[in-house]
Amino acid sequence: MIAVHGSTVDIPTQDGTADAYLAHPDDGTPHPAVLFYMDAFGLRPHLKKMADRLASAGYTVLVPNVFYRHGRAPVVELPEFINPAERPEIFKSLRPAAETLTPEAAVRDAGAYLDWLAASPLTTDGPAGVTGYCMGAGLALRTAGTHPDRVAAVAGFHGAYLATEAPDSPHLLADRITAELYFGHADQDATLPPEQINRLEDALTAAGVAHHTEVYAGARHGFTQADTAMYDAEATERHWKALLDLLARAL
């Protein structure tokens, strides 16, 4: 395993300053950039561990606190082990932070994150990879659709509301995407029912986007998150293989 260095950094945006976690191989050389979008529970120790693992594969990984408009991470106090069934108030406490991130704000932020990575001496020249979890999968899809020349690969896992009937649904950006995409969906996921999976697949196919979609049998929404009750170790390892294979091909 490659030794990894992690630190907190501040990213200037059009709307303020986003705090973020940065992980990169501790070898003093630049590596391909990966923008890592958090799930709804936010930037916390588990996501930092995931970023470290990705960095150990040879990438410079930036995990922004996309709720920075509401405050620095952690924006709400979370238990060490998150079980929404036992703590339904967690989602209620997160709602004000989530409401600060409109689709328009997300697109502005994406440009700032990509700018910061491109300017960093820790990254190589060329487009970035993007990965996202839960709500982060939608952010990753928006980033690919609004900054197509700057994104070469996108992965989304247990993504939420990726292809709704809303006029600003992320899947409607499919015809602008030039990156290669991979999606690992949970088959027990109320936030992405089969009709949305099919709608996303149809949009990507019609737009001629290079993509691969898999539905992880038996997996629940949030299956990659080891600090939650939704965690699935087998599905998580499958996700790592898919993600690393995609980044190796595209970056």
Q: Which residues are catalytic?
A: 134, 189, 221
Q: How far apart are CA 24 and CA 6, in angstroms?
A: 7
Q: How far apart are CA 243 and CA 41, in angstroms?
A: 21
- Which one, of 144, 165, 161, 140, lies nearest residue 221 by Cα? 161
Burial of 95 (0-12, 13-18, 19+ CB in 10 A): exposed
Roughly how many angstroms between the first and final C-alpha of the chain, as a whole number? 20
One-character DSSP codes across 55-69? HTTT-EEEEE-TTTT
One-character DSSP codes across 154-175? EEEES-SSSS-SSTT-GGGGGG
Q: How far apart are CA 246 and CA 251, in angstroms?
A: 8
